[in-house]
Structure 1
Amino acid sequence: MAFLAVMPKKLDQRDDEIAGSLLRENSSGKVKLGKIYSLMSAVGREVAPHVACTKGCSDCCKMNVSISIIEAERLSLMSGRNLAAVSRPVRHRSDEFSGIPCPFLQDNACTVYEHRPFACRAHYSFDDTAYWCHPDRSNAAEFSLLESGGAKQAYQEIVMKSRLSGFADIRDFFPTNTAVNQLEG
C-alpha cells in the first residue's frame, strides 16, 4: 500500500500512543472521542491522495455503519435530530443495510461530515476507482484496509465503558421511513 510508505512518522507515533495516553487521562469519553477524531482527521488528510474516495462518492454511506451511543448522542446534538432509544447493543447481518442510505446522507453528501462517527473516519477505498465501493460489489472481494491500531483500541475502550457498552447501526439510533420501508419490503 503506497500510503504506508509516506505515512508521516509523527502521525504513526500518535496512533501508536493514543490508546495508552487516553487510558491514563482523567476525562470523559466524549473528550477522549474528540481526540481520537482529531487523530483520524489528520490521518484522513494524509491518506486523501492515495484513495478512490472523493466528495460526492457515497456508496460507503449505503452499508452498515456501527456506531456507539456516545457518537449517536453527539450526532443528535450536532444535527438537532431526535435519538431513538437503544438500550442494548444490536448486531446486524453484514448486508442488512446494503443499499440503504445513512440517515445523514443527502444529495450524495454527508450532512454531519465534521461530526461523522469513527467507522466513517476509518473507512477508505485504496483501490484506483470507486467501482468496488458499490453496495452490490463491496462484499465480493477482499480489499486493503487502513488499520489505525491505537485509535481503534482507544475507541473500543471508550465504547466498552459507555452505558450501551457496544454498538448499533446508525439507522437504529436514527431510523428513517426509507430504511424501515426497505427493510420491511
Structure 2
Amino acid sequence: MSIEEEVNIATAQDNARRSAASMLASLPARLQKDEDRIAAQLQRHKGNAFAKITVLHDLLNAFGAAMAPFTACKAGCDACCHYNVSLFPIEARYIEHFAGHKQRGDPLPAQDFHGQPCPFLKEGRCGIYNARPISCRLHVAFTKTAYWCSPARSSEGQFQQIDLTGIREALVDVASASGGVAHTDIRQVFGVPARWTAT
C-alpha cells in the first residue's frame, strides 16, 4: 500500500484495526498463555530485578516477531523515537548497567518531549536496542505505512494497539519492588541531544 492511500486517517485507522485483529488471530496459543502467566511467573522467579526485566524482554521479543508481519515498523524508521518515552527507575538502571550509559546526576524537569529525539537515537537507529525500555517494545504501528507515525501527525488520531496486560502488570511488580513506579521520560534521566538544548 502506498502512503497516499493512508493519508485519509479513517482508512489508516481501519487498516490498523484489521491488522491488529489478524495478528491476534494468528498469535500462537503458547505465547498468549506465557503473557497471561508472566506476572505470576516473575513473582516466583529467584533472580534479581535485572534478570526479571530480561525475562520480560525475551517474551516481548517473541511478541515482536509475531507482530512484525502485521506492522509498518522496520529498521531505520525512527518516528516513534521522537515521542515521549516513559520508563521506570529500574529500567533506567538496566540501561545504565547493560548499555553502559550513565544517568544524569540531576534529572531534567518533567515536560513534553514529543518531537525531540531520544538521546540514544544514532543515525536513525536505536543505540541501546537490546536494553531499550518496555514502552518502546510495546509500541507498534499496525497501519500499512508509517505516514501517521510522524511526530507532526501522530497526535491527530488514535490508532489500534494491543494491551499486553500481563507484561505491564509484571513490569509494575518488578519496578515496585526495585525502587518505585514513578514514570520519567528517558530524556529526563539520560539527557537531551545537544542540538535540542536551549542556548
TM-score w.r.t. the length of structure 1 is: 0.89
Whole-angstrom CA distance in 2 between matches of 1:80 and 1:129: 34
Residue number in structure 2 paired with 1:77: 97
For residue 35 of structure 2, what is the amino acid of its counterpart?
A: D
Question: Where in structure 2 are there 5+ consecutive unaligned residues?
Answer: 1-20
Q: After TM superposition, what 4+ stretches of structure 1 lie above 4 angstroms from structure 2?
A: none
Count of equivalent residues: 178
Question: Where in structure 1 are there 5+ consecutive unaligned residues?
Answer: none
From 52, 56, 59, the counterpart of 2:72:
52
* 1:29 aligned onto 2:49: yes
Give the number of the structure whose alpha-carbon radius of gyration is greater. Answer: 2
TM-score w.r.t. the length of structure 2 is: 0.83
From 128, 152, 155, the counterpart of 1:139:
155
The structure in which a higher percent of residues are helix is 2
* 1:64 aligned onto 2:84: yes
From 34, 37, 43, the counterpart of 2:63:
43
Cα deviation for residue 173 of structure 1 reads: 1.2
Say which SS state the counterpart of residue 53 (structure 1) adopts.
Answer: coil
Task: Describe how 1:119-138 pairs up with structure 2 within 5 A.
Answer: 119-138=135-154
Kept after mapping to 2: 8 A contact 1:75/1:112: yes
Whole-angstrom CA distance in 1 between matches of 2:105 and 2:178: 15
Identity of aligned residues (%): 33
User: Does 165-174 or 3-12 show the bigger shift?
Assistant: 165-174
* 1:7 aligned onto 2:24: no
Cα deviation for residue 8 of structure 1 reads: 0.6
Kept after mapping to 2: 8 A contact 1:64/1:97: yes
Say which SS state the counterpart of residue 139 (structure 1) adopts.
Answer: helix
Whole-angstrom CA distance in 1 between matches of 2:103 and 2:90: 11
Say which SS state the counterpart of residue 162 (structure 2) adopts.
Answer: coil
